[in-house]
Amino acid sequence: MLGRLTHGRCHTVQILDPRIDPVHWNIVIAPRHDQLTGANVLTPLGSLNPVDDAWLAAGREANPGLAELPQPRVGVLLGGPRSGLAMDSAYAQTLVARLAARQRREGGSLFVLRSRRTSADMVAVFRHALASIPGMLWSGPDDGRNPYPGVLGWADRLVATPDSVNMLSEACAVGCAVHTFPTSTMPAKLQRFHQALRAQHLLHDLDDDAPLRQPPLRETADIARQVRERMAAADGITPR
């Protein structure tokens, strides 16, 4: 929850579904798949994130070596198991086999990034596969600084596992094709999120030949604008 004092009045802003009546806050920001409603509720499609042109440019500048790897450069964002969605080494083996087959057809390189929920077994599968594929694997601080902003900045295409709303939202904010690889039924809220992304042609199956460039999903600035306007209106101020 955030609070802001303007003209002697405190405005409260809750980010994510509070799981109680949203009337307890001035503004609630909850992703659309939460199906939360109310006059004070703002509903972006995905999660708020910092990804924009300046953020991506800074990522490229901080990781210039990634530009030397062959194109198409495919960023692979690994999540992990969550309630109602199993992800293990067998899943990783299937995913990496599909990625390797595509790389053999079209060339290029793979940038693989582990998240906090990615198991050591999944990482081991990718580490073995990358021994014969151009690219890089980041699995933690022992591999140096996290190159995540650089991977998003240099990627021609992104593949994200289906488990994380934040990870998929940030991938879709880049402006390149984003693919995912679900192998089982997802929890209802997550399924609604995937369906909404697919309905806007922002998310594709793993082997789809989607255009490399696509309009980015960037909602943070617009949500911030709406919050400022609502605060100003509550204070009786005409926004400039």
pLDDT, tens digit, for every residue of 109-149?
999 999 999 999 999 999 999 999 999 999 999 999 999 99
Residues 58 and 39 in one domain: no
Is there a single domain that holds both residue 35 and residue 133? no
Using the predicted structure, report yes or no on whether residue 41 has a pLDDT greater than 60. yes
Question: What's the whole-model pTM score?
Answer: 0.92
Same-domain check for residues 98 and 8:
no
The answer to whether residue 239 sits within a structural domain is: no
Q: Print the domain residue range for 37.
A: 2-44+219-234
Question: Is the backbone of residue 132 left (phi > 0), alpha (psi -120 to 50) or beta?
Answer: alpha
197 near 216, Cβ under 8 Å?
no
Domain count, the chain: 2
> Nearest-CA neighbor of 13 among 237, 238, 223, 233?
223
Is there a single domain that holds both residue 72 and residue 37? Answer: no
